[in-house]
Amino acid sequence: MDQDNQSSNTPIMMIAIIATLVVIGLLIALNKPALEQATTKHHQSELLGLLTAIKHVNQQVLPMHNSEGEADVLIDGVAVPLFNGKLRATSSSLERGLDVAYRSIQTHHTAFDYWNMIGQPSKSNEPRKIQLQHKEAPANCHIIYVEAGTLEQPNAEQYILNDKGC
């Protein structure tokens, strides 16, 4: 008798398992666009945070240490490489400038722990450029920072935000 009861329950259990898997699959499929949108917003927010931090250093912290051409300026005992009074487009200048400004040197972490910094090719008569991209972001989600002109032609630093592919 027990064997008859088990064999009649087997199809019902299979149907229940299949229905559960279908419901889980539907929930995942319905949540995928929301998850992708949240990830995009997160990457865009990370970019804007870094962009704001670099602008803060260049516009608020460095005017007190104005210099022309290439110079290493001591800020709180740390040599920060500058070009025409602004952060250079190098990983060391950006790291030191932001770390000093936000006091992260005291925590033994850098503001760029989760960022890739990739130097961009430029001609000798063009300002240096560096691409800043969060390590978890897609390739077309980054900032290109262009330093403040050249020795012969000082200019304002530039920030190129590419957040369309985040």
Q: What is the pLDDT of residues 64-112, one digit of tens each?
A: 666 778 888 887 788 888 888 889 999 888 888 888 877 654 555 566 7
6 confidence band (pLDDT: 50, 70, 90): low
User: To which H or E segment does residue 42 belong?
Assistant: helix 2-56
The mean predicted confidence, pLDDT, of the chain is 82
Beta bridge partners of residue 129, listed in sequence order: 120, 146
Burial of 81 per CB tally in 10 Å (0-12, 13-18, 19+)? middle
- Examine the pLDDT at 159 and tell me if it is beyond 90: yes
Can you give the residue ranges of every domain in the chain? 2-64+112-162
List, in order, residues 6 or more apart from 62 with CB less than 8 Å away.
73, 82, 85, 86, 87, 97
- Examine the pLDDT at 46 and tell me if it is beyond 60: yes
* ∠ CA 96-78-94, rounded to 5°: 15
pLDDT confidence of residue 1:
47
Tokens standing for 117? 């910094």
- Examine the pLDDT at 131 and tell me if it is beyond 60: yes
Average pLDDT of 127-154? 90
**pLDDT tens readout for residues 23-42:** 888 877 777 778 788 888 88
Supply the DSSP symbol for 121. P
